[in-house]
């Protein structure tokens, strides 16, 4: 049987597993996916790639502190380019790392996070992604399925091509499912896993999946307009949340001034965040599925009152809609900003923990 026929058969079998789009993953799995944090640089852009450095990236004490603080899971970014080429050793190291996290009582979402691939235009990259899952899925099969959640890929783009992304996601699900028949698999929409990308998605006919989206709205505030390097980041860092008058509190001109005035004119506040997240919750209810906010965060360069208010309001809006969440990230400036690699037992920012409804571990 050639590979094309095998893939077509696998897609058919996935479609046969349920007669409707409604998904009902086991409640204990949903309970795990409630309060998470992303580990962004253990297996993504690793500073050092030798086995010893990978094994010691994060201490057991640091993992235990996450659980003690109230986190129930981590989302582990795995760069497939890092795995390919040294597959056996590095996938074994990946399995070890996941096992260590799970022994500390944490669930682990394992998300493939390509950094150089273009899935929407490159058939070769799509095949590389499928090949990576053929290698990674058997490693995950050896772990506790109640605590192991494969996520197909991080932030697919496929701008204006929702059907193209849905077809690829179905194909990749068909690659993973035979190796992980009892695992709860994480799916997403196109457009960088945005709110709009998710609510435009047609759910799949697989009962044991959850759907993820990422939330950084408005990005002028949370990322300090990372999409436009020409803007004055120091000025943007003074923007308030919620928006109050006067909104622009520094002397600024040109395009930065125009962007800041536009942000102010939108009057972002908790109610606007609630409305955006309600779109996801409504989509989930209509389709009978479970959703997860796999990423949200705000730059540590943003003024602290605005940052903590935004993080707290997003977290509360998600929890009011019974949506689990994961901060981006543990070792990233959008979250705790723990140094890379973490040293020993990093102290977690207590104000940030408080905004997340959590507590200091010690």
Which tens digits make up the pLDDT trace of 83-112? 887 678 899 999 999 999 999 999 999 999
What is the pLDDT confidence band of residue 211, given thresholds at 50, 70 and 90? very high
- Position 289 scores a pLDDT of 97
What is the pLDDT confidence band of residue 283, given thresholds at 50, 70 and 90? very high
Whether this model's pTM surpasses 0.75: yes
Residue 343: pLDDT over 90: no
Q: How many CB atoms lie within 10 A of CB 121?
A: 11
CB 126 within 8 A of CB 86: no
CA 346, CA 336: separation in Å to the nearest integer?
10
What is the pLDDT confidence band of residue 19, given thresholds at 50, 70 and 90? very low
- Position 133 scores a pLDDT of 96
Question: CA dist 146 to 33, 128, 159, 197, Å?
Answer: 11, 27, 34, 28
Q: How many CB atoms lie within 10 A of CB 127?
A: 11
Q: Is 153 exposed, middle or buried (0-12, 13-18, 19+ CB in 10 A)?
A: buried
| Top-confidence residue, 198 or 251 | 198
* Residues paired with 35 in a beta bridge: 325
CA 293, CA 119: separation in Å to the nearest integer?
23
Which tokens sit at 61? 């004490």
Which tokens sit at 127? 């095949």
Mean pLDDT, residues 155-176: 97
First to last CA, the chain: 57
CA dihedral 26, 27, 29, 33 (to 10 degrees): 140
CA 170, CA 184: separation in Å to the nearest integer?
15
| Top-confidence residue, 57 or 9 | 57
pLDDT tens-place string over residues 167-176: 999 999 999 9
pLDDT tens-place string over residues 322-338: 999 999 999 999 999 99
Q: Report the mean per-residue pLDDT for the chain.
A: 92
Mean pLDDT, residues 192-212: 97
User: Quick one: DSSP state of residue 245?
Assistant: S
Domain residue ranges of the chain, discontinuous segments joined by +:
24-218+269-355
Residue 16: pLDDT over 50: no
Residue 3: pLDDT over 90: no
Residue 5: pLDDT over 50: no
The number of angstroms, rounded, from the C-alpha of 239 to the middle of its chain's C-alpha atoms is: 26
Query: What count of residues does the chain have?
Result: 362
Residue 293: pLDDT over 70: yes
CB 166 within 8 A of CB 201: yes
CB 347 within 8 A of CB 341: no
- Position 359 scores a pLDDT of 96
What is the pLDDT confidence band of residue 9, given thresholds at 50, 70 and 90? very low
Which tokens sit at 197? 């990308």
CA dihedral 202, 205, 206, 207 (to 10 degrees): 90
- Position 21 scores a pLDDT of 59
- Position 12 scores a pLDDT of 42
Architecture per CATH, 24-218+269-355? Alpha-Beta Barrel (3.20)
pLDDT tens-place string over residues 215-262: 999 999 999 999 999 999 999 999 999 998 889 878 888 999 999 999
Say if strands 209-215 and 185-188 run parallel, antiparallel, or are unpaired: parallel
């Amino acid at each position: 049987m050639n590979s094309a026929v095998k893939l077509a058969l696998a897609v058919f079998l996935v479609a046969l597993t349920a007669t409707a789009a409604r998904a009902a993953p086991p409640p204990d799995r949903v309970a795990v996916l409630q309060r998470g944090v992303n580990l962004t640089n253990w297996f993504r852009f690793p500073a050092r790639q030798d086995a010893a450095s990978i094994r010691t990236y994060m201490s057991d004490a640091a993992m235990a502190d996450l659980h003690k603080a109230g986190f129930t899971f981590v989302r582990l970014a795995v760069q497939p380019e890092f795995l390919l080429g040294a597959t056996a050793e590095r996938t074994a190291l990946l399995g070890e790392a996941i096992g260590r996290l799970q022994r500390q009582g944490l669930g682990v979402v394992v998300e493939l996070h390509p950094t150089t691939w273009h899935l929407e235009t490159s058939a070769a990259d799509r095949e590389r992604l499928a090949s990576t899952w053929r290698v990674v899925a058997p490693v995950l099969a050896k772990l506790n399925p109640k605590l192991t959640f494969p996520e197909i890929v991080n932030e697919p783009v496929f701008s204006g091509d929702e059907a193209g992304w849905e077809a690829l996601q179905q194909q990749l699900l068909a690659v993973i499912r035979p190796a992980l028949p009892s695992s709860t698999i994480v799916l997403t929409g196109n457009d960088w896993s945005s709110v709009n990308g998710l609510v435009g998605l047609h759910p799949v006919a697989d009962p044991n999946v959850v759907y993820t989206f990422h939330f950084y709205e408005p990005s002028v505030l949370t990322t300090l307009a990372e999409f436009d390097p020409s803007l004055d980041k120091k000025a943007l860092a003074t923007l308030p949340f919620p928006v109050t008058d006067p909104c622009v509190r520094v002397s600024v001109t040109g395009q930065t001034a125009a962007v800041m005035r536009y942000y102010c004119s939108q009057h972002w506040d908790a109610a606007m965040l609630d409305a955006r997240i309600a779109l996801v919750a409504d989509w989930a209810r209509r389709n009978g599925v479970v959703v997860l906010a796999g990423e949200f965060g705000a730059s540590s360069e943003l003024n602290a009152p605005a940052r903590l208010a935004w993080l707290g309001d997003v977290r509360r809006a998600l929890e009011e809609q019974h949506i689990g969440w994961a901060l981006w990230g543990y070792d990233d400036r959008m979250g705790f900003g723990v140094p890379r690699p973490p040293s020993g037992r990093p102290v977690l920012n207590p104000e940030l923990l408080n905004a997340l409804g959590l507590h200091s571990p010690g």
